[in-house]
Structure 1
Amino acid sequence: MAQTLPRIQPDRVIAYQFPEADFFYTERETAIYALGVGAAGADPTDPLELPYVYHPDGQQFIKVLPSFAVILPGSTLNIMDKVPGLYYDPKLLLHGEQFLEIYKPVSASGKIRSSRRISGLHDKGTSAILELEILSRDLETGEVLFFNRGLGSPYMFQKIWRSTLFLRGAGGFSPSRSQMYSYSSRTPSNNNLVVKFSKQGAVSDDTPDAEFVDHIQLSQALLYRLSGDMNPLHSDPEFALEAGFERPILHGLCTLGFAVRAVIRCCADGDSSKVQSIQCRFVHHVFPGEILVTEMWKDHSNTRVSFVCKVKNRGKIVLFGSVRLHPKLSML
């Protein structure tokens, strides 16, 4: 029997103020995340990917995948559970879009303080769309820094994290089924935070400038969940069936990590510090064990790489978006 949910109370949801949250992380969490998104999975001696998990001079010198920043504020489910007036079935939660802008390369360890808020709530009739926005600062200095390569403490950074979540079965709470409740964005006005996507990920009809093939391990979701996303949709077979999937699916943000790795490897000379921003839309689910193909197109300035991820066996586009590279550090 289908679960009957109370109607979302939009005024209470939008008005809720989250307390600030502190997060400490070490090289251990950084390396576990890298393994969780497939780093060195095909070849543990790969010189482009081994540095994400090992450095001969010590773990404090390992490289960091910039997509690691999307998980630093903590579990989205834990955030949403605290919102009064927000009613949804966790089995029907899907990740819709993600945007991240980094102003200082993320270090292998650090201490951050994040302020969070719900920036938008949309009634789509049979579903609801929730927009979350998180701003993180260095805990010890309190400084808000734009990207300034080579200056400041190695773990001082600011990041903007924006996420769109689909709450299936939670719509119909407003007089108009297309009604939107929102705050104006608090993000700086010159950061190009407006995210626009091409239709169904059709980035280009041209031949990709690069293509990378990754085999997602059968245990990939179990490894990725060690980074903090414990949603049973990715581990519990019965929970997945109730949510409408034949077996547990891969985390959307895990798939994004695979895509970002491919872009860095193929279009940024393996240099993760070149990444300035990441944006993506999640289109279809991925099952652990599938083969993921990432196709990439560079723009004329070599500062933006558009990408599409497909699962080879099903021929489905599962993710598409773009990565922006710092102009002074971009590809030759």
Structure 2
Amino acid sequence: MPIDAAKAVAAEPRSAEIGWDHKDVQLYHLGLGAGVPATDPDELRYTLESRLHVLPSFATVAGAGMGVVGGLSAPGIDIDLAAVLHGGQSITLHRPLPVSGRAVSTSRVAAVYDKGKAAVLVLRSEAADAEGPLWTSDAQIFVRGEGGWGGDRGPSERLELPARAPDATVERPIREEQALLYRLSGDWNPLHADPEFAKLAGFDRPILHGLCSYGMTLKAAVDTLLDGDVTRVRAYRTRFAGIVFPGETLRIRMWRLEGGEGGAGGDGGAGGRIQITVTAVERDDAPVLADTVVDHS
């Protein structure tokens, strides 16, 4: 079997030094569609170095996302990358991310689950700088055709949507060239740029990166329900439920909930939670992101 679950989980973590500066942060924000309107003070917080703050989902691309790459090359993992799908993503923030910095990113396979027709790898990356922990990031990676060895199936939590109207609904257009810009932050998969490669993967044209939708959704939640304050985000997770194409529009529905992990890594105070669902407007609200939660202070 190409995946040796016990060997993968027992393997020594891999560490690498990563670094970023304001240009990396600005490029990431622009790849999410920030900067429209260009002179809007709220957008300048994402695009102008003298006012810059860092959206917490930047953690998924800092150091070009080396944590996931390291996990897929861990001992006990020998898989065909064409069989790999990004199933879900979560990040926990231990403190606000600096505009520039250097950190040590440590990656490991935290778990391997047997879903029958697929295996799920939980690839965990933890980053820390001289002042201490910055973030913990978990990527849930589906590997088609690699299940069936009788292992633990793992969690399968699904969130019911609140039985009331959303507290906010916003729509965010995806520019035609947005995937081409977003990939400059480190995800060079040709699926998001090359029409011929996309056809080989079963799509009639390139699709948007799931992590781009993930970042766009967090930005919408921060701007709409958290007063534009990125430092209030404590944790953020989603399940990738479907694809979206450049040129389409994300419909982002948000509900305010009580509770959450607002004190995690922060001031220890009470926090709140935002539950979100994301769909593609032009395809009759086809699902894009599900089981999506932002915990905040």
- Counterpart of 1:29? 24
- Counterpart of 2:101? 110
2:62 paired residue among 53, 67, 72: 72
1:108-147 equivalences under 5 Å are 108-138=99-129, 140-141=130-131, 143-144=132-133
Amino acid at match of 2:53: K
Amino acid at match of 1:319: L
Offset of 1:80 from its aligned partner?
A: 4.0
Segment drifting more, 44-53 vs 265-274:
44-53
How has the CA–CA distance of structure 1 residues 268 and 197 changed in structure 2, closer, same or farther, with 3 Å as cutoff? same
Task: Tell whether the 8 Å contact from 1:249 to 1:288 is kept in structure 2 after alignment.
Answer: yes
How has the CA–CA distance of structure 1 residues 76 and 166 changed in structure 2, closer, same or farther, with 3 Å as cutoff? farther
Partners of 2:275 and 2:72 in 1: how far apart?
Answer: 34
How has the CA–CA distance of structure 1 residues 308 and 125 changed in structure 2, closer, same or farther, with 3 Å as cutoff? same
1:38 paired residue among 30, 33, 37: 33
What secondary structure does 1:111 align onto?
Answer: strand
Structure with higher strand content: 2
Task: Tell whether the 8 Å contact from 2:74 to 2:108 is kept in structure 1 after alignment.
Answer: no
1:221 paired residue among 173, 176, 179: 179
Task: Tell whether the 8 Å contact from 2:68 to 2:123 is kept in structure 1 after alignment.
Answer: no
- Counterpart of 2:189? 231
Matched, 1:304 2:273: yes
Task: Tell whether the 8 Å contact from 1:299 to 1:305 is kept in structure 2 after alignment.
Answer: yes
1:88 paired residue among 79, 88, 100: 79
What secondary structure does 2:184 align onto?
Answer: helix
CA RMSD between the two structures: 2.2
What secondary structure does 1:52 align onto?
Answer: helix
User: Which of structures 1 and 2 has the bigger CA Rg?
Assistant: 1
Matched, 1:180 2:156: no
Offset of 1:238 from its aligned partner?
A: 2.2
2:11 paired residue among 16, 35, 55: 16
- Counterpart of 1:264? 222
Amino acid at match of 2:276: F
Structure with higher helix content: 2
Task: Tell whether the 8 Å contact from 1:91 to 1:233 is kept in structure 2 after alignment.
Answer: no
Q: So what's the TM-score if we normalise by structure 1?
A: 0.79
Amino acid at match of 2:10: A
Partners of 1:308 and 1:165 in 2: how far apart?
Answer: 20
1:159-198 equivalences under 5 Å are 159-172=135-148, 174=149, 176=150, 179-180=151-152, 196-198=157-159
Offset of 1:287 from its aligned partner?
A: 0.9
Q: So what's the TM-score if we normalise by structure 2?
A: 0.88
Offset of 1:270 from its aligned partner?
A: 1.1
Offset of 1:195 from its aligned partner?
A: 9.3
Partners of 1:181 and 1:19 in 2: how far apart?
Answer: 26
Partners of 1:261 and 1:86 in 2: how far apart?
Answer: 34
Matched, 1:325 2:296: yes
* Contiguous gaps of at least 5 residues in structure 1: 1-5, 145-157, 183-193, 327-332
Report runs of 4+ in structure 1 exceeding 3 Å deviation: 194-197
- Counterpart of 1:316? 286
Partners of 2:156 and 2:30 in 1: how far apart?
Answer: 29
1:241-292 deviations in whole A, cap 9, x for unaligned? 2222222111111101110011011101111111111011110011111111
Partners of 2:71 and 2:200 in 1: how far apart?
Answer: 21
Amino acid at match of 2:60: V
Amino acid at match of 1:95: H
1:108-161 deviations in whole A, cap 9, x for unaligned? 1111111111011122232211001111111x34x34xxxxxxxxxxxxx2111
Give the fraction of aligned pairs with identical amino acids, expressed as a percent: 35
